[in-house]
Amino acid sequence: MNKGMLATALLALLPAAHASESDALAKHNASLTAQVVEWRRHLHQHPELSNRETATAAYVAEHLRQLGLQLTTGVAHTGVVALLDSGKPGPTVMLRADMDALPVTEQVDLPFASTTKTTFRGQEVGVMHACGHDAHVAILMGVAQSLTQMKQQLNGKVLFVFQPAEEGAPEGEEGGAELMLKEGLFQRYQPDVAFGLHVTSALPVGVIGMKSGPAMASADRFVINVSGEQTHGSRPWNGADPIVASANIINAVQTLVSRQLDITKAPAVVSFGSIHGGVRSNIIPDQVELVGTIRTFDEGMRAQIHQHLPEIAANSAASLGATAATTVEVGYPVTVNDPQLSQWAMPYLAQHSSSEAVVNTGLITGAEDFSFFAQQVPGVYFFLGVTPQGQDPRHAPSNHSPKFYIDEAALPVGVNALTQLTLAQMNNPKL
């Protein structure tokens, strides 16, 4: 789809209801479409991993400087924060976009496909915006330009947060939303509400989805080190087999969700993703490492799993003469869309969704560190479909896939939606 068609698509996506307000906003933002597409393609072609988004940050900062915004760089390593102050009393609305890419080698045939390579965990890897953060940044750059031009219509302040390391900081480093808060972002700017979006291949292009309340899961990593006693494989009775103990642990842990949690309250997932132990077929090792993930939608259930997982592992290992030491690395909390703010936001989002309504996305077991911001202030985090018309989203390559593809007709829809939410909140706050 060319740039002129994108501008036309933007206007076509708007429903007849609320025509005067939506049409005015669409006309104001339609001229931005070509720029947003250009920004997104540049960012897509030059991706950077978490806490290494230096060129991305410089690209964003230059744009924000040209808009005359109050600018702070180097936040949480590479983050960029800008403030638009209308000079009139009103709420402070925070808008967030994440900037980092993934260690994925792109397999999409695009003229602006990424050919970037870097070293990740000691290996040379391709780098790709396989989760769509390039679109998030470009959209928020467009929103910043749009709202700056509409400054006279604003009441209050807009805080633009371009965040690094949403995909997780490198080992041994801090990063992301949590580090931004730790460095005092909210103490300095004191936002009243926070909005964010995420592109998704799970929805058709231009469709907006959201769920009120718990929406995305918490995500915690665990490591279980199982210790036994090494012996020859022909004489297992002379030692303590940590491999068999590990098998017992894996099976027993499945009962944690099925038998110890009240799953009528909310679902939960405990999965093992890595098992390492031994080097030969005839040697029973003395150590096995198990690594996995915990996903929940309720903080109480999350705490239960953290408590019982080490107990189950230790008791299962002990029954075979082995020991098990469990470490739970606390990650992202549950992403909760404030119910009152969500109800307020839905009509504004529906104005810009190609479905003319906000689709209920249901619970998503993926995690998002926007959750840290939403713990501090009321927040709304919504999804924007990017799968082209005529393609079934159920079969489209998912986020994080090397074949993940964005239909750029979604970009102006995102600009309009975030701009509309901000204008509405500043001129008619509900919280």
- Bridge partners (DSSP) of residue 292 are 222, 272
What beta strand segments (E) does 172-212 contain?
Answer: 193-204, 208-210
Closest C-alpha among 180, 197, 149, 170 to residue 73: 180
Cα 83 to Cα 99, 100, 148: the distances in Å are 18, 21, 10
Q: What is d(CA 344, CA 334) in angstroms, rounded to the nearest whole number?
A: 21
CA angle, residues 94, 351, 375, in degrees to nearest 5: 30
Torsion, CA 241, CA 244, CA 246, CA 252, rounded to 10: -140
Catalytic residue among 106, 167, 178, 408: 408
Q: What is d(CA 411, CA 427) in angstroms, rounded to the nearest whole number?
A: 25
Q: What is d(CA 5, CA 290) in angstroms, rounded to the nearest whole number?
A: 51
User: Which two tokens mark 397?
Assistant: 């390559």
**DSSP assignment of 299-339:** HHHHHHHHHHHHHHHHHHHHTTT-EEEEEEEEEE--EEE-H
Q: Is 408 a catalytic residue?
A: yes
Q: What is d(CA 231, CA 216) in angstroms, rounded to the nearest whole number?
A: 45
CA angle, residues 53, 410, 69, in degrees to nearest 5: 50
Closest C-alpha among 385, 387, 394 to residue 414: 385
Q: Is 332 a catalytic residue?
A: yes
Q: What is d(CA 132, CA 125) in angstroms, rounded to the nearest whole number?
A: 18
Give the total residue count for the chain.
Answer: 431
Catalytic residue among 48, 59, 332, 381: 332
User: Which two tokens mark 80?
Assistant: 């960029």
Backbone φ and ψ of 235, nearest 5°: -135, 65
Q: What is d(CA 315, CA 323) in angstroms, rounded to the nearest whole number?
A: 8
Q: What is d(CA 245, CA 228) in angstroms, rounded to the nearest whole number?
A: 8
Q: What is the DSSP letter of 388?
A: P
- Residues belonging to the active site: 332, 408
